[in-house]
Amino acid sequence: MSVYRNALFILIGAALLLAPVVSAQQADQNQTIIVVPGDGSKSPVYSILAYDTIVQGETDYFTKYVQPGTSQLTLDLNWGNAANSLSLWVNTPAGLYGPYYDSSDGIPTNGRIVLAMSGSGGSLPAGTWEFRVYGDSVSNVEDYTFVAY
């Protein structure tokens, strides 16, 4: 195989890799975000975004920059005590999503919300995403972890 032929394959490969990224960026702002229950067994221990506490009526805010071309984001809000009710809002570049409750992930009484978000166009809208944890119905103080990965 000649050097030129190898170079051609590399060029074609690079074009194929770049094309979906560019088109995804153009379509980002108009697309719908698909939200389904996430896989809670996969939560990585190394990327804890937040450990915090919340009381009745309080809202905690977290942000994360979502890189262009990100296909899926898993959100994992875990407070573990189903007697208290926390809810989750997600303010994306494509609009505000929520509220999500304990039951939103298909497991209604485990004190945890695990969701997988993906873009209808193949990738999520890039930019700064804001996550709002709200103390819906909380007696005393509830502690929790929140991860987005």
Among 107, 122, 145, 149, binds Ca ion (CB under 5 A): 107
The candidate with the shortest Cα–Cα distance to 57, out of 112, 145, 135, is 135
Q: List residues bridging with 132 in a β-sheet.
A: 61, 89
Burial class (CB in 10 A: 0-12, 13-18, 19+), 128: exposed
Which residue lies nearer to Ca ion by CB, 74 or 123?
74
Q: List residues bridging with 51 in a β-sheet.
A: 145
Where does this chain touch Ca ion (CB under 5 A) — which range of 19-27, 42-50, 71-79, 100-108?
A: 100-108
C-beta of residue 144 within 8 angstroms of C-beta of residue 53: yes
Among 38, 76, 86, 102, binds Ca ion (CB under 5 A): 102
Which residue lies nearer to Ca ion by CB, 72 or 110?
110
Where does this chain touch Ca ion (CB under 5 A) — which range of 6-14, 50-58, 65-73, 112-120?
A: 112-120
Distance CA 61, CA 121 (A): 27
Residue 28 near Ca ion by CB under 5 A: no
Let me know how many helices (H) and strands (E) the chain has, helices first: 1, 9
Which residue lies nearer to Ca ion by CB, 126 or 134?
134
Which residue lies nearer to Ca ion by CB, 43 or 110?
110
Residue 116 near Ca ion by CB under 5 A: no
Distance CA 102, CA 104 (A): 6
Residue 76 near Ca ion by CB under 5 A: no
> Which residues of the shown chain bind Ca ion in the complex (CB under 5 A)?
102, 105, 107, 110, 112
